[in-house]
Amino acid sequence: SQTIHQWPATLVQPVGSPLSLECTVEGTSNPNLYWYRQAAGRGLQLLFYSVGIGQISSEVPQNLSASRPQDRQFILSSKKLLLSDSGFYLCAWSHGQMYEQYFGPGTRLTVT
Amino acid sequence: AQSVTQLDSQVPVFEEAPVELRCNYSSSVSVYLFWYVQYPNQGLQLLLKYLSGSTLVESINGFEAEFNKSQTSFHLRKPSVHISDTAEYFCAVNSWSEGAQKLVFGQGTRLTINP
């Protein structure tokens, strides 16, 4: 069966510091991968998606970037965090003809 | 572009009462619909999905949703809720753009079950 991992689970970072969040998927190959942000009390905002290694599409202009160095690894980064980057970050995967997505446990980021 | 509207941001109900969480989507030629549940500080879990076939779909924990094409709705119902159903519920619709399948989510409905 497939599983998806995210780490760290929680993170507190000062404004201006760098960020690296990692997501890995097990039990499948060539998945579609997605990064979402969920601000407090709000819905999900799609940030990035990837259909293959090195292929990254951005949905909204922002202070963040994403990379996919390996087939089942998806990384969310920032060079300098802003207060507005605080939120709950969720990674998800889908595959092939699947329409549904499966989500990881999330990372709670607080920028202070 | 696809869009999803969840008509209620919060729904409080008493335990063992019935509940309906409303979801409307923008019309499209072919549409696939989903309900996800999110417990506090956790990721989203797929609750049920409509892809084709019977318009009534069910989950393993007693929820059901009905796809209504004429009303562009996909409301979620449960005849008798439990304390453990307290969570945030998200409705989503598929969207195909720029060579990738995506999901468009509603803003969520917070279901609170009171004893």
Residues A23-63: pLDDT tens digits?
Answer: 999 999 999 999 999 987 678 999 999 999 989 998 887 88
Taking an 8 Å cut-off on Cβ atoms, the answer to whether A106 and B41 are in contact is yes
Q: What is the mean pLDDT of chain A?
A: 93
Residues in A closer than 8 angstroms to B102, CB to CB, are 34, 46, 49
Residue A96 has pLDDT above 80, yes or no: no
Nearest to B101 among A6, A32, A88 (CB): A32
Kindly determine whether residue B94 and residue A102, on different chains, have CB atoms separated by under 8 Å. no
pLDDT digits (tens, 9 = 90+) for A74-86: 999 999 999 999 9
Asked if B101 lies within 8 A of A94 by C-beta distance, the reply is yes
- Indicate yes or no: CB of B105 within 8 angstroms of CB of A102: no
In which band, very low, low, confident or very high, does the pLDDT at A111 lie, cut at 50, 70 and 90? Answer: very high
pLDDT < 50 stretches in chain B? none
Predicted confidence (pLDDT) per residue in B49-74, tens digit: 999 888 999 998 899 999 999 999 99
The pLDDT assigned to A60 comes to 82
Give the pLDDT of residue B52: 87
CA A90 – CA A47 distance, rounded (Å): 10
**A29 touches B at CB < 8 Å:** no
pLDDT of residue A92: 97
Q: Nearest CA of chain B to the CA of A17: how many Å?
A: 24
